[in-house]
């Protein structure tokens, strides 16, 4: 067990009072995720109080707890456990002497975060750290920092937001040496006046840049100049990535290979890198260029990054591929069920259009799109048609405008929920089918994927 926090260090960092000596090798605030040697932080939320689960955490092997009321077992007593978690996050960041990369964006931030971690871990095994899952909010970011070993050479921290001002708070905690925006798109549009406001909110990530840090942003974005203007307030070092010849990190040549991978020759400010990208889809080309730009800015090993991108496979809910065994053969399923907005829907539908077989798209409604929801949903009709989708299974009431737009264009079925979609899909599945499943996480299509795929998975199609 590697020591991450001692009781003494926790008390010193949080201003708390230690009750019993212990050494923690991890940090958790969800009692269901506590493992042997972890520190359990008993947070008080709107609907539950972590103090109710302290005994469960100890039963699961927690080494100690951070609490705001006395409990049985070794603990550090603080006034406010949320403030204590943030204090641990600041302490972990201050003692880490490696390079920190912050990642945000309307789409692709978790995928880029995972690919970046793989690239850096490839060159520094055991010395790269990252946010787990999509822990990117006001609780997840401090947790990810508090879990960061002091000896980390690299850390990749994902940051998300629903409202203006949220990223500014997170990035000042992360203090990145490299701040990366993957893309700007109408995600969470319900909370913003327009896409320009979304760009401004994402650009808050630059506010936390360490002196001499680098801002990385998408050259091909219509908000490029706005993002550059904001970045210049905080740094003179700006890198752009994209397919345009003017981008600082760009693909000068690409060749699609058998199996869906792509051979890419990328031009950087002072070098070139040729590598294979294992993940299919044009959106992954942009993701890969963003990764290469961040590794370059962090002084990482570009050759190792190229190898990692060649080995990259889909993540659960974000491109993972499954084989479904049927009575007379197999069908293939692409799991993009974790989240959806108009840009990511269009990108993954384009990817589906390059697959061989009968193309079926199971599309859940997109949430938090505000007044433009009907227009955004109806706008998916063209990407569906261009992808050659033979059957669209539309899930949720908000899909009604798309159903209307598809009349006479593409065969479709509109159902109320994920359970109904699963029943319809099971009834029509045939060998050779390739199924894309994508929608906002709250629609519940992930459970449908689990039910259909079971434990039989394949990452190569």
pLDDT tens-place string over residues 70-99: 999 999 999 999 999 999 999 999 999 999
Tell me, yes or no, whether 269 and 367 share the same domain. Answer: no
**Which of 50, 81, 112 is the last residue before a domain boundary?**
81
pLDDT of residue 135: 85
pLDDT tens-place string over residues 390-424: 999 999 999 999 999 999 889 999 999 999 999 99
Going along 105-185, which residue ranges are E strands?
Answer: 128-130, 154-158, 178-181
- Domain with residue 129: its CATH number is 3.40.1190.10
Given a contact cutoff of 8 angstroms between Cβ atoms, the answer to whether 176 and 145 are in contact is no
pLDDT of residue 460: 32
Q: Does residue 279 form part of some domain? A: yes
Report the C-alpha gap between 445 and 421 in whole angstroms. 9
Neighbours of 91 (CB within 10 A): 19
Tell me which residue range forms the domain holding 66. 5-81
Pairing state of beta strands 359-364 and 434-438? parallel
Tell me, yes or no, whether 170 and 197 share the same domain. Answer: yes
Residue percentage of the chain with pLDDT more than 70: 98
**Which of 54, 81, 108 is the last residue before a domain boundary?**
81
Confidence of residue 189 (pLDDT cuts 50, 70, 90): low
Tell me, yes or no, whether 160 and 118 share the same domain. Answer: yes
Tell me, yes or no, whether 140 and 256 share the same domain. Answer: yes
Tell me, yes or no, whether 344 and 413 share the same domain. Answer: yes
Q: Which residues does the annotation place in the binding site?
A: 105-111
Angle subtended by helix axes 166-174 and 81-95, to nearest 10: 50
318 DSSP 8-state letter: B
In sequence order, what are the residues at sequence separation of 6 or more whose Cβ sits closer than 8 angstroms to the Cβ of residue 211?
A: none
Q: Does residue 150 form part of some domain? A: yes
Confidence of residue 1 (pLDDT cuts 50, 70, 90): low
Confidence of residue 457 (pLDDT cuts 50, 70, 90): very low
Average pLDDT over residues 271-280: 92
Tell me, yes or no, whether 350 and 212 share the same domain. Answer: no
pLDDT tens-place string over residues 312-357: 887 778 888 899 999 889 999 999 998 888 988 998 999 899 899 9
Given a contact cutoff of 8 angstroms between Cβ atoms, the answer to whether 187 and 367 are in contact is no
Q: Which residues does the annotation place in the binding site for ATP?
A: 105-111
Given a contact cutoff of 8 angstroms between Cβ atoms, the answer to whether 430 and 312 are in contact is no
Report the C-alpha gap between 412 and 415 in whole angstroms. 10
Tell me, yes or no, whether 325 and 447 share the same domain. Answer: yes
Pairing state of beta strands 75-77 and 64-67? parallel
- Domain with residue 366: its CATH number is 3.90.190.20
Residue 262 has φ and ψ, to the nearest 5°, of: -135, 135
Domain count, the chain: 3
Residues, the chain: 461
Average pLDDT over residues 204-219: 98
By three-state DSSP, how is residue 406 classified?
helix
**Which of 81, 115, 138 is the last residue before a domain boundary?**
81
Tell me, yes or no, whether 124 and 244 share the same domain. Answer: yes
pLDDT of residue 191: 75
Report the C-alpha gap between 113 and 287 in whole angstroms. 10
Tell me, yes or no, whether 175 and 113 share the same domain. Answer: yes
Tell me, yes or no, whether 296 and 232 share the same domain. Answer: yes
Tell me, yes or no, whether 200 and 271 share the same domain. Answer: yes
In this prediction the pTM is: 0.80
Tell me, yes or no, whether 262 and 366 share the same domain. Answer: no
Separation of CA 219 from chain center: 21
pLDDT of residue 188: 63
pLDDT of residue 459 exceeding 70: no
């Amino acid at each position: 067990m590697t020591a991450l926090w001692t009781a003494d260090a926790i008390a010193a960092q949080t201003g708390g009072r230690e009750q019993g000596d212990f050494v923690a090798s991890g940090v958790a605030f969800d009692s269901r995720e506590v493992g042997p040697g972890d520190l359990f932080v008993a947070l008080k939320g709107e609907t539950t109080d972590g103090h109710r689960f302290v005994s469960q955490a100890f039963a699961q092997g927690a080494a100690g707890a951070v609490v705001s009321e006395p409990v049985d077992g070794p603990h550090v007593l603080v006034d406010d456990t949320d403030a204590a978690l943030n204090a641990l996050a600041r302490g972990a960041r201050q003692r880490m002497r490696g390079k920190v990369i912050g990642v945000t964006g309307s789409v692709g931030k978790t995928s880029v975060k995972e690919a970046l971690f793989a690239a850096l871990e490839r060159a520094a095994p055991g010395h790269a750290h990252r946010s787990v899952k999509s822990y990117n909010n006001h609780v997840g970011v401090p947790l990810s920092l508090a879990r960061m070993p002091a000896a980390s050479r690299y850390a990749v921290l994902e940051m998300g937001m629903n409202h203006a001002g949220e990223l500014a708070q997170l990035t000042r905690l992360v203090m990145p040496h490299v701040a990366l925006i993957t893309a700007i798109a109408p995600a969470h549009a319900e909370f913003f006046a327009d896409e320009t406001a979304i760009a401004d909110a994402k650009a808050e990530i630059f506010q936390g840049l360490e002196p001499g840090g680098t801002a990385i942003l998408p050259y091909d974005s219509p908000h490029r100049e706005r993002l550059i203007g904001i970045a210049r307030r905080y740094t003179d070092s700006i890198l752009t990535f994209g397919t345009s010849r003017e981008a600082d990190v760009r693909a000068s040549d690409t060749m699609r290979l058998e199996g869906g991978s792509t051979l890419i020759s990328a031009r950087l400010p002072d070098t070139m890198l040729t590598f294979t990208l294992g993940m299919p889809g044009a959106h992954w080309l942009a993701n890969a260029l963003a990764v290469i730009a961040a590794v370059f800015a962090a002084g990482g090993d570009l050759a190792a990054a190229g190898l990692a991108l060649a080995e990259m496979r889909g993540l659960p809910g974000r491109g993972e591929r499954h084989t479904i065994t049927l009575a007379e053969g197999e069908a293939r399923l692409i799991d993009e069920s974790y989240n959806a907005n108009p840009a990511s829907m269009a990108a993954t539908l384009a990817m589906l259009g390059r697959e061989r077989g009968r193309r079926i798209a199971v599309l859940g409604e997109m949430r938090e799109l505000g007044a433009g929801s009907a227009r955004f949903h109806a706008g998916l009709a063209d990407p569906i048609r261009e992808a050659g989708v033979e059957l669209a299974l539309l899930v949720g009431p908000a899909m009604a405008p798309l159903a209307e737009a598809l009349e006479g264009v593409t065969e479709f079925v509109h159902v109320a929920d994920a359970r109904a979609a699963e029943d319809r899909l099971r009834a029509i599945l045939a060998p050779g089918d390739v199924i894309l499943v994508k929608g906002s996480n709250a629609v519940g299509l992930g459970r449908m994927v689990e039910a259909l795929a079971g434990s039989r998975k394949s990452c190569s199609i």
